[in-house]
Structure 1
Amino acid sequence: MDDMVKMKGEAELAHLLQKSLKRKRYLIVLDDIWSCEVWDGVRQCFPTEDNAGSRILLTTRNKEVACYAGTENLSMQINFMDQDESWNLFKSVAFANVALPSRFETIGKQIAEKCHGLPLTTAVVAGLLKSKRAIEDWENVAKDVKSFVTKDPDERCSRVLRLSYNHLTSDLKTCLLHFGIFLEDSEIPVKRLVRSWMAEGLLKLENDLEGEAGKCFQELVDRCLVLICKKSRDGTKFRSCKVHDLIYDLCVTEFQRENILIMNNIVLGVSERGNLSMQKMQPFKCVTGDEINYCPYGLYRALLTPVHRQLRDHDNNDLLKRTRSILTFYPKDSIYGPKLELIHFKLLKVLDLSDIVIASSLYRY
């Protein structure tokens, strides 16, 4: 990925990829292809001849895509876990190799069975019960799981995730929702996350904020709501993390439903003179993950104080005055330098420039 490659268009890049793969044997894995149109666009980048033994493996949550892309009946549908697999996963998370009375095992098997073989649902519910050692709590969760289960797998997961969310303390809820301000499916440095919690004032303790933040993070990990991406070499520290896209959707939905805060994106564009300029703040709901990928000059996410009236998207001054925090999501492979006039944000409290400075920094005003 040198500067020459970065300046080329998609058609040129597709041609380069085809050329580099010709007459070679390769295995390419494409994760989470969401439509037939996307697959049609991507498949044009690969050679169609002189590649004996090469394979392309794709995953999707859409059965139509799998059937459409599969050749010679090579598509495979992953089955749900059977009762034994579900129970083994459940007890490995909830029991953590600790022997419990037979009553817990009996109820645990009932709960695992009601998760209907979905690994995500099973792991989340088991994580919820990991810290609960009262039989009444397990019985209540068994009742809740049954009432939250629906026929649609994605909806079932969402409902169970909401169940897990509802069982969190107010502090843990706030910390989990904070994942919604980061880009979807992004790998987040743990240090940046906990410092953001501290700077935003999400933790009630005035002393040892880092220790309290660490405890909150560990509990969210134990509940299988946060996934660990990287650890330190000795395995004792967490370096980066992320949340499942269903949990991310839950965070964004709760932000909007509870009117906790409003998220807006400030996308940087190029002026006629060739200099970077700040475009009008765009509502968060209108800038999806796909569109964000086409912001090569930097993306700033602004957190605004909510108001009891409809957001006036056309009034940029109104948005600027209510902005309390700004976080940067700056493409690491961009060849441009970011520019943002902060003088417009009179009430700015937190400025996170982690992505655009050598040493991560988080300022609180």
Structure 2
Amino acid sequence: MIKIDDTVEMNGEAELADRLQKSLKGKRYLIVLYDMWKSEAWDAVILCFPNENKGSGILLTTRNTQVARYAGTENLSSQMGFMDQNESWNLFRSVAFVNEALPSYYENIGKQIADECHGLPLTIVVVAGLLKSKKAIEDWRSVTKDVKSVVTNDPDERCSRVLGLSYNHLTGELITCLLHFGIFPEDSEIPVKNLMRSWITEGFLQLENDLEGEAEKCLQELVDRCLVLVCKKSLDGTKIRSCKVHDLIYDLCVREIQRENIFIMNDIVLDKSDSERRYLIMHKMQPFKRVTGYEIDYCPHGLYGALLTPVHR
């Protein structure tokens, strides 16, 4: 284990890389690099490992074939295939019913839905999570039709459309809470306390007498629908301590924020130089829209919605 002390914090990544390399030198190790998207990321992390290799290994996962080739693993790589019918059904059933007994009348329609996911695990998990809270057979038949209409032959596009299907089945309150993940850095692990405090502060929740309980309920429902991933739990396993969203879910949140004309404002400063009027000066507005204080001043009311980041002033 590498201790993150003041020296590491001051010198940043270079100091951390140096310490990691020294700690691994002369040892056997297995490093897992999960879901790498860019070759530049490989260039950055490979410097952290010793040059000599004494029975050690690095396991790299990526959805970008070019990254695998760039890392020199082309002859050592294993292309993951799609699930067959039995694997798809077993995964679907394990998510949709967990420890519950499977009623026989759900099996046929459930297998149809699993087949329509064409063996793509993320699609299966998201659709099953959507149906987890729907026990009426009519709802399952309805989703069967929806899945058929959104699934295409392109795996990435197929997944995006199915994620959109799951998104469209959320209530207004859950949609707002899910979109809020789009203001955090991609792939970041978010402390649940900070997340729920932000939901409550922004007024996303309906109940007024038990906001914290309502926030926990919303988070659990998003987890149950497989839209939010649990990172850490309390020691007794009863409470979620930190969470994140899959990068495809994150992209969905960002697209919906853009589509709804919501923009993220960072570093908002209230300028008091004018004694009679106050102006909002936007130093950064990323990644959606840049608006000057002048434009805000003369902008008709209700034209935009503002989603503030946790770092705003």
- TM over 0.5: same fold? yes
How do 1:1-365 and structure 2 match up within 5 A?
A: 1-8=4-11, 17-49=20-52, 51-71=53-73, 73-259=75-261, 261-266=262-267, 281-285=283-287, 312-315=290-293, 318=296, 327-328=309-310
- Is the CA contact (8 Å cut-off) linking 2:264 and 2:286 kept in structure 1? yes
Larger RCO: Structure 1 or Structure 2 (Cα < 8 Å, ≥ 6 residues apart)? 2
CA separation of 1:31/1:313 partners in 2, compared to 1, >3 Å: closer, same or farther?
A: same
- Is the CA contact (8 Å cut-off) linking 1:81 and 1:119 kept in structure 2? yes
CA separation of 1:324/1:256 partners in 2, compared to 1, >3 Å: closer, same or farther?
A: closer
Give the whole-Å Cα distance in 1 for the aligned partners of 2:150 and 2:13. 44
- Is the CA contact (8 Å cut-off) linking 1:282 and 1:313 kept in structure 2? no
More helix by share: 2
Unaligned runs of 5+ in 2: 269-280
Fraction of identical pairs, as percent: 69
Give the whole-Å Cα distance in 2 for the aligned partners of 1:165 and 1:323. 20
Q: 1:13 offset after TM fit, Å?
A: 6.0
Q: Alignment partner of 2:287: what SS? A: helix
CA separation of 1:68/1:207 partners in 2, compared to 1, >3 Å: closer, same or farther?
A: same
CA separation of 1:133/1:153 partners in 2, compared to 1, >3 Å: closer, same or farther?
A: same
Total equivalences in the alignment: 294
- Is the CA contact (8 Å cut-off) linking 2:200 and 2:215 kept in structure 1? yes
Q: 1:223 offset after TM fit, Å?
A: 0.9
Give the whole-Å Cα distance in 2 for the aligned partners of 1:157 and 1:80. 13
Superposed CA offset, 1:181-207 (max 9, x none) = 222211112222222222211122222
Q: Which moved more, 1:198-207 or 1:93-102?
A: 93-102
Give the whole-Å Cα distance in 2 for the aligned partners of 1:81 and 1:118. 7
Q: Alignment partner of 1:285: what SS? A: coil
State the TM-score, normalized to the length of structure 2. Answer: 0.82
Give the whole-Å Cα distance in 2 for the aligned partners of 1:205 and 1:125. 28
Superposed CA offset, 1:129-162 (max 9, x none) = 1121222211111111111112222221111111
Give the whole-Å Cα distance in 2 for the aligned partners of 1:168 and 1:71. 41
Give the whole-Å Cα distance in 1 for the aligned partners of 2:307 and 2:148. 40
State the TM-score, normalized to the length of structure 1. Answer: 0.71
- Is the CA contact (8 Å cut-off) linking 2:263 and 2:305 kept in structure 1? no
Q: Alignment partner of 1:173: what SS? A: helix
The AA in structure 2 aligned to 1:263 is I
CA separation of 1:98/1:282 partners in 2, compared to 1, >3 Å: closer, same or farther?
A: same
The AA in structure 2 aligned to 1:43 is I
Give the whole-Å Cα distance in 1 for the aligned partners of 2:306 and 2:39. 41
Over aligned residues, Cα RMSD in angstroms? Answer: 3.0
- Is the CA contact (8 Å cut-off) linking 1:312 and 1:318 kept in structure 2? no
Give the whole-Å Cα distance in 2 for the aligned partners of 1:316 and 1:230. 45
Q: 1:312 offset after TM fit, Å?
A: 4.9
Give the whole-Å Cα distance in 2 for the aligned partners of 1:20 and 1:237. 34
CA separation of 1:6/1:108 partners in 2, compared to 1, >3 Å: closer, same or farther?
A: same
Give the whole-Å Cα distance in 2 for the aligned partners of 1:16 and 1:215. 42
The AA in structure 2 aligned to 1:24 is K
